[in-house]
Amino acid sequence: MTGETIGHYRILEKVGEGGMGVVYKAEDTRLRRLVALKFLSARTAPDAQAEARFLREAQAGGGLDHPNVCRVHGLEEHEGRTFIVMAFVEGESLARRIRSGLKLGEALDIAIQIGEGLKAAHERGILHRDVKPANILVSAEGTAKLTDFGIAFVRDRSRLTLPGTVMGTLTYMAPEQLRAEDADPRTDIWALGVVLYEMCAGRLPFDRADAVKLTKAILEEDPLKPSAIHPMLTQEFDEIVEKALAKAREDRYQHLDGLVADLRSLRRRLTPGQEAFACSVPEIGRDAPSEAASAATRARSWIGRLFGRRPDGPPRPDVTSSQARTPERPSRTDQAR
């Protein structure tokens, strides 16, 4: 499609493709601005549920106006093809930022911003249900934006998922998601806790080579304290992560206000040395999938066997984002699915 004109959008380049969607960088020739156009992938079998989820994604994102949520400009159609028009973010995914290296101050700033974006979504009755680094964009100025509301739950809207269906990305799933229970705001808090741990400890809290072992760890095991990995991380940080990753929902932060407030308090008290501490550092071969990521790619069939149900979509952490670059194609942006 590169070089084509779709309505008043001139396609400049394909910026990525994932399990369900493909995203192009385009120029809005009327308003003279760059946008991102998201189409259902040609690899996705056209069916009513896929189209309904695509519409729900546009509605969820379009109903939010927050600096830490990627703006959806609209939903349009051209020659029978529906597409979402989004703001184009010049930057990269958090997944790529983690691989290239993060300082502790940067990591806390990103966690605070995503917490604010999620809080705005929750206030509108929207649960993201797939918070992970691939679904977070970080601009060149350091602004973090939450993307991909493709499996979001929106209050007062018809359900698109049958009760008991397993949804999300295995590595970042909360215990209640693995038990096929309904999600609530504390489910997103768990996922943000996993992202926070990954950014600051430089590894996942639950990293197993086998999907069964990974699921067992999420359900039953406590992760290693971050301060045991990096002594620069304080006991206060350990306590924040422990509360965000409490197995029982009633033991977690009940609202994002509490988590964001604790993160802001910790951020204010960082010493210059702590702020500049390289908690996530580049490693040779870091682009290779982690053990947990590899396990997640195998989880589809296993989850189906465990619950006797078909999981709704592949749980691969690197391809389920609406705006997450494929790692093989370096670019100025990571805005893709």
Token pair of 21, please?
């969607």
138-158: buried (b, 16+ CB within 10 Å) or exposed (e) per residue?
A: beeeeebbbbbbbbbbbeeee
**130 part of the active site:** yes
CA angle 294, 240, 206 (to 5 degrees): 15
Query: Is-contact 150 61, C-beta < 8 A?
Result: no
Spatial separation of the C-alpha atoms in residues 177 and 74, rounded to whole Å: 30
Query: Is-contact 295 309, C-beta < 8 A?
Result: no
DSSP for 135-173 reads: GEEEETTS-EEE---TT-EETTS--SS-TT---S-GGG-
**Pairing, β 91-93 against β 72-78:** unpaired
Q: Of 28, 47, 109, 130, which one is the catalytic site residue?
A: 130
3-state class (DSSP) for residue 133: helix
Rg (CA), the chain: 19
Alpha helices in the chain (DSSP H): 48-62, 94-100, 104-123, 175-178, 185-201, 211-220, 226-229, 235-244, 256-268, 272-275, 291-297, 299-307
Q: Residue 175, Cβ neighbours under 10 Å: how many?
A: 18
Which of these, 153, 178, 174, 152, lies nearest to 165 by C-alpha position? 178
- List the beta bridge partners of residue 267: none
Query: Is-contact 235 266, C-beta < 8 A?
Result: no
Q: What are phi and psi of 172, to 5 degrees?
A: -110, 10
Task: Give catalytic residues, as residue numbers.
Answer: 130
